[in-house]
């Protein structure tokens, strides 16, 4: 009986009533077995406990390196014309960084910026466009932006490190497999970090409240393609 | 006296015959839906025993039959597994209300992952748009539309709370629903009689009833299925969120968590002191919904401090 209670609480309720009834009526354990509680009380079989050492690793998604920027012009075929970063950044002598993107005379002019009182030089480094500048003057590679963001957003970085901020995919149990975690910039545009409002997907179709929607055999959830795209809010 | 008595006899006989005919007719009429229903159910399915009583071989046969039926009805080869609870694992889920934006991508991921009926947009997750300053779930609006998030509102996704003291499992007259050792409340869809008592008992509106056989185009059927979770449910049974046990018992994250673009969802093993879920429970302002009912949920809401 004790075994049943420990492993299968739900069956316990079912077993108790006949147990009490039979015990009081017959005062013997033998009829109980004959009546057939037998295989009904099979203890739940457990899978093996996860091994001690973790095999999976947590990776932070590395955002794609930006090689070129849009010029706002189109080529002869109508495709947007992009220009590689190195076209200018290797040849020209860099000017001092301006305070706001509006002060730029040539490239990066359409850049939207809404991120507190930061200036371009708060994060960027003159002459090293692949690097970022920490508050103490050290430079770090662009992909380590987490450290840079964490200088101000400490509570978010704390939560992120604890696994309670930022989306992820893969395994909760690292003994079973790895996990991929979003980078800050997968969801937040560093220049405009606030989420822009979006239209919710999959509106509920209540049997009584919603209008009847004919089923045409096609994909019933047209916005499905957006579900997989992380950071579509920038 | 005797003549009058004789005259009455034929009338009585007629009335008896008439009554018997009407009675038989009414009985046949009343049983008609049952006969129509039994056409769709095989003898094996009718005689199938409760999940917990099935031996390993019997369950393998049942699963084989279900896979063949899915192939026949939906035109898709599927694999139905029966992953068991793991020793030393009890699942918990937490949701950060400070960052949820109400985009309903979790509900959509659930819809796709769990083979829900495409016509009704069914999902185990219901996202409520709530007035700031109130937790009255009954005043939450599920019919909201974009753009979200709206000022003055917050968004609260509600799904099965996998209660330790689950009202739904207690009211089931046939014990077709129960709590597993890893904390997940499951339904044996082939044992459920569809009385919907559990649906009425659940204070979180977490259970759904299959009014019709789910309609899913073959290419949209998720072939990775579990007997107690996302296999395509028959008509007339109750279904519910199982924390995606076909994924989570193999160590994967639930589909709703992977779909969340804000990272509002945290899932893990409550028994592991180093897990993310334990960190949230120990460091955040956590609350449970309708605490006063004493349901002891395994689903927690929290706010950023």
Residues of A in contact with B250 (CB under 8 A): 176
* Residues 6 or more apart in contact with residue B50 via CB below 8 angstroms: B175, B176, B188, B191
Q: What is the DSSP letter of B228?
A: T
Fold classification of B91-303 (topology level)? Alpha-Beta Plaits (3.30.70)
For B267, name the nearest residue in chain A, comparing CA atoms only.
A172
* Long-range contacts of the stretch B62-70 (C-beta < 8 A, 24+): B62/B190, B62/B227, B63/B227, B66/B227, B66/B231, B70/B221, B70/B231, B70/B232
Distance of CA A69 to the CA centre of its chain: 27
Q: What is the DSSP letter of B183?
A: S
Residues of B in contact with A8 (CB under 8 A): 52, 181
Distance of CA A180 to the CA centre of its chain: 8
Residues of B in contact with A60 (CB under 8 A): none
Chain B: closest CA distance from residue A224 (Å): 8
CA angle, corner B176, sides to B170 and B178, nearest 5? Answer: 55
User: Which H/E stretch holds residue A48?
Assistant: none
Q: Compute the half-sphere exposure of residue A109: CA atoms within 13 Å on the CB side of its CA.
A: 6
B 16-55 residues with CB below 8 A of A? Answer: 52-53, 55
Q: What is the DSSP letter of A55?
A: -
In terms of Cβ atoms closer than 10 Å to its own Cβ (0-12, 13-18, 19+), residue A78 is exposed
Cis peptide, bond prior to residue A224, ω within 30 of zero = no
Interface test with B, best of A36, A159, A210 (most B CBs within 10 A): A159
Residue A110 at interface with chain B, using a CB cutoff of 8 Å: no
pLDDT, tens digit (0-9, with 9 covering 90-100), for B74-92: 999 999 999 999 999 999 9
Percent of chain A at pLDDT exceeding 90: 31
Which residue, chain included where needed, has tokens 């009583």? B53
B 203-222 residues with CB below 8 A of A? Answer: 211, 215, 217, 220
User: Which H/E stretch holds residue A71?
Assistant: strand A68-74
Domain boundaries of chain A, sorted by first residue: 2-41, 58-187
For residue B198, CA distances in Å to A136, A143, B118, B126, B202 come to 60, 51, 24, 17, 6
Residues of B in contact with A9 (CB under 8 A): 178-179
What six digits make up the tokens of A163?
A: 């696994």
Check residue B10 and give its pLDDT.
85
Identify each DSSP E strand in B39-175 by its residue range.
79-81, 91-96, 126-131, 153-158
Q: How would you classify the pairing of strands A179-181 and A58-60?
A: parallel
For B125, name the nearest residue in chain A, comparing CA atoms only.
A204
How many angstroms separate the CA atoms of B250 and B228, rounded?
Answer: 14
Residues of A in contact with B60 (CB under 8 A): none
How many angstroms separate the CA atoms of A218 and B118, rounded?
Answer: 10
Check residue A27 and give its pLDDT.
47
Q: How would you classify the pairing of strands B299-303 and B285-287?
A: antiparallel
With left for phi above 0 and alpha for psi between -120 and 50, is residue B28 left, alpha or beta? alpha
Check residue A129 and give its pLDDT.
84
- On whether the CB atoms of residues B302 and B288 are closer than 8 A, the answer is no
Q: Which of B146, B249, B275 sits opposite A197 (nearest CB)?
A: B146
- On whether the CB atoms of residues B165 and B183 are closer than 8 A, the answer is no
Residues of A in contact with B275 (CB under 8 A): 172
How many angstroms separate the CA atoms of B217 and B284, rounded?
Answer: 43
* Low-confidence residues in chain A, pLDDT < 50: 1-40, 212-234
Report how far apart the first and last C-alpha atoms of chain A are (Å, whole number): 59
A 137-156 residues with CB below 8 A of B? Answer: 155
For A202, name the nearest residue in chain B, comparing CA atoms only.
B108
Q: How would you classify the pairing of strands A80-84 and B79-81?
A: unpaired
CB atoms within 10 A of CB A154: 10
With residues binned 3-state (H G I as helix, E B as strand, rest as coil), the percentages for chain B, rounded to 5, are 35, 15, 45
What six digits make up the tokens of A220?
A: 């019933």
The candidate with the shortest Cα–Cα distance to A173, out of B276, B207, B59, is B276
* Low-confidence residues in chain B, pLDDT < 50: none
For A180, name the nearest residue in chain B, comparing CA atoms only.
B258
pTM, 2 dp: 0.78
Query: Does B263 contact A39 at a Cβ distance shorter than 8 Å?
Result: no
How many angstroms separate the CA atoms of B130 and A209, rounded?
Answer: 19
How many angstroms separate the CA atoms of A12 and A218, rounded?
Answer: 47
- On whether the CB atoms of residues B150 and B139 are closer than 8 A, the answer is no
CB atoms within 10 A of CB A174: 17
Check residue B286 and give its pLDDT.
96
Domain boundaries of chain B, sorted by first residue: 1-39, 91-303
Query: Does B181 contact A159 at a Cβ distance shorter than 8 Å?
Result: no
């Amino acid at each position: 009986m004790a075994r049943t209670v420990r492993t299968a609480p739900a069956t316990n309720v079912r077993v108790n009533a006949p147990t009490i009834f039979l015990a009081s009526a017959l005062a013997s354990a033998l009829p109980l077995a004959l009546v057939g509680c037998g295989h009904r009380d099979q203890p739940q079989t457990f899978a093996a406990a996860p091994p001690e050492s973790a095999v999976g690793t947590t990776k932070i998604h590395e955002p794609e390196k930006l090689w070129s920027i849009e010029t706002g012009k189109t080529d002869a075929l109508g495709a947007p014309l992009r220009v590689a970063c190195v076209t200018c950044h290797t040849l020209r002598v860099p000017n001092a960084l301006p305070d706001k993107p509006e002060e730029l005379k040539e490239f990066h002019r359409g850049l939207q910026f809404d991120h507190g009182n930061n200036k371009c030089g708060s994060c960027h480094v003159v002459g090293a466009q692949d690097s970022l500048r920490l508050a103490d003057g050290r430079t770090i590679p662009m992909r380590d932006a987490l450290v840079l963001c964490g200088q101000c957003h400490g509570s978010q970085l704390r939560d992120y490190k604890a696994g309670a901020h930022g989306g992820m995919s893969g395994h909760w149990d690292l003994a079973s497999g790895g996990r991929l975690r979003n980078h800050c910039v997968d969801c937040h545009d560093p220049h405009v970090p606030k989420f822009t409002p979006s239209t919710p997907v999959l509106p509920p179709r209540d049997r009584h409240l919603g209008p009847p929607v004919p089923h045409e055999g096609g994909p019933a959830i047209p916005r499905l393609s957006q579900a997989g795209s992380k950071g579509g809010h920038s | 006296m005797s003549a009058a008595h004789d005259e009455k006899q034929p009338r009585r006989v007629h009335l008896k015959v008439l009554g018997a005919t009407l009675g038989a007719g009414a009985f046949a009429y009343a049983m008609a839906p049952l006969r129509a229903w039994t056409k769709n159910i095989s003898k094996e399915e009718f005689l199938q025993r409760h999940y917990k009583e099935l031996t390993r071989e019997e369950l393998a046969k049942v699963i084989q039959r279900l896979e063949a039926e899915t192939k026949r009805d939906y035109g898709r080869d599927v694999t139905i597994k029966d992953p068991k609870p793991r020793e030393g694992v009890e699942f918990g889920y937490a949701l950060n209300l400070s960052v949820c934006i109400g985009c309903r991508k979790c509900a959509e991921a659930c819809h796709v992952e769990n083979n829900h009926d495409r016509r009704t947009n069914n999902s185990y997750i219901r996202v409520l748009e709530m007035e700031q300053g109130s937790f009255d779930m009954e005043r939450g609006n599920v019919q909201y539309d974009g753009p979200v998030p709206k000022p003055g509102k917050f968004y609260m996704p509600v799904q099965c709370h996998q209660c330790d003291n689950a009202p739904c499992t207690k009211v089931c007259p046939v014990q077709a629903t129960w709590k597993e050792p890893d904390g997940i409340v499951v339904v044996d869809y082939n044992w459920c009689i569809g009385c919907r008592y559990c649906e009425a008992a659940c204070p979180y509106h977490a259970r759904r009833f299959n009014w019709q056989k789910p309609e899913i185009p073959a290419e949209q059927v998720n072939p990775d299925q579990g007997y107690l979770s996302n296999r395509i449910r028959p008509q007339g049974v109750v279904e519910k969120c199982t924390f995606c046990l076909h994924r989570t018992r193999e160590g994967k994250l639930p589909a709703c968590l992977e779909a969340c673009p804000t990272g509002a969802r945290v899932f893990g093993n409550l028994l592991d002191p180093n897990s993310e879920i334990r960190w949230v429970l120990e460091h955040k302002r956590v609350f449970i919904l309708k605490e006063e009912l004493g349901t002891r949920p395994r689903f927690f809401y929290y706010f950023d401090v």
